[in-house]
A and B are shown apart, each in its own frame.
Chain A
């Protein structure tokens, strides 16, 4: 589709991420305040549309109907459109996409997108949290087998190694890159630099995946303000313009119906759709910075391939050659990714979009600034990888 009006992400903010002494409602308020504080000239009274990304507030916080709750907490009278989006790990990007469409269609001019997740209920309740994570698959036939995320993605690592010769060392290189990037991100859950050997030596979680191959269980929120071109020009000179947005879903969510355990055809299709809209022919040459869904180290290797940065099967070589480093051909996950920042499910996509916006605005610390970043993307997968969402962002509107 072609959007009818240009839409920009003008800025936003996030809470500190990690194991927080805070409730879901605390996080929503902190995230809202951080967002409004970061965008002078925009306050609750300006917001006409509110989109809240939240995956499991029913299970983790015993609360539903959360978008109106956020409206109350942040003092927003929503005049045009309100929705909560649930698309597992892609809920934040889904919220951005709704806001984009509503503005592009002329329904509204100013939207707040807020992603919030409260996941840590105390160590003794971690099994409840993991049970809820397993419900993302078909619970009756797959989740029932004790299939939370780590073993599921371990299969992809095993199959990718089996089919293409990807190595344990290459997985470690991805995790070390992202965790080290996160050491320069002040809100990140994991801020220590990590070298590849430490990844391989970290405790086994679901072989071949180790602890440092995994994103965390994270409390956090992230917010972004989206605006029509006319409004955006009033508040900022530099923004992230949404030039393409693709989503692809297969008719399959349970194990029997997945076409591949080493690749994600839907990521290829979603990115291709987004590239077509944005007029991108050669993603490796044209994308400067990419925030991709590294829920596990193997995911990023597959994403290099499916997003068109590397040939199929050569994702491992791509990281080994350092091509996804800050100073590589495409800077992948300068923020530190899900591996370094943690993964408060509903907030992740919003935080990724903020990183791209701030990269364009030169508003990140120097040591993670990508040189002359002008074109970027965010990517999220969700559930069994049955859905992939890709949004292309540009420093200039088309």
Chain B
């Protein structure tokens, strides 16, 4: 019915609250990419020789690689020589030792984004590492965490303070040449967080990193490494936002997780990069490689992601289940509104015996949004009695959006079991009318239905962020029906 299509068009108007620019003087690397630029970044971060070598090797590898084209996304060609690979607020030449030394302009930025960096504020149970363009500007609760031996610090500091940790694990889960974007990241990565949880320690608070792109014409290439030693537990969350700009900006991150014997890592993402305007102008190109290694027996890695932002999302957080009885989980809600395109999913690679994986993917498409779930389950010969459960649901709002499901399955033994369920539904005019007849406004009705659809995933988020994510889904759909 055409009337309902019009209604839906109205609600698809979208507000982006995080779209402001912080007026702060920043220092840039000259645009373009070369061995000199790689050296410039490494030098800025006062890195040891071995790391510079590592970067240069990655750069040379990258030069030989081609940008992948298999994903169901289309975007103008990225000119890698045109953008900057390093930008940092000038005030931060020497990383601040305490919050008092952080530029108030930066504190205000995070405040405005709802991430107060004062340790006594709302997020009192959460330690935050705030990454602004290419550098970390503040990390809270470090002392408190150090008391129990938990390392939580910016990458560039960890390189200096815990070189053995970085040397051991950097590139151990995502090899430099894994793909085009991981190679690029390895060459030019800027800041990100390093977490190490010692044996038997349950990390006493949520850890989170908040990534903010501010500078124009600059890519962000963060690198995150989380190692959970035997029998430990950590829950980590990352959030991301960027100003509204007419030009596209590249974000190519690499995240590596390692869970040793009996350890557990819960990694949650609330990704709200600028998605571009309703005509598809501007927005972040988000090409991310995330992978976790369940190294030890009975280890467990859970990825939970709420992806509402970015013009292009290309992202497949995966698990390598090497330890016997290890568990991998992937819970995802991805929303594409207006002209957003998302090609996202996961890979579960079963190597150990009795390994189990669960994939719950909820895709929401509205406006002209395009969404592809791309998931791979690989069960090797030795992974006897492995189990996988995949559930892949799509919700369409309006009639100009699209959803696709691309599952790959490769099973090499006969004792394993896989289950796959998929559904596609559309928010119907009848559902909206039913809700409105009961007194709910159209927007509340859509947000109710969307949150009902996403609930199974949202409940996996740490409580502090579930409410935030729920609101974000509502805001991202503002104007989706009207």
**A and B: interacting chains:** no
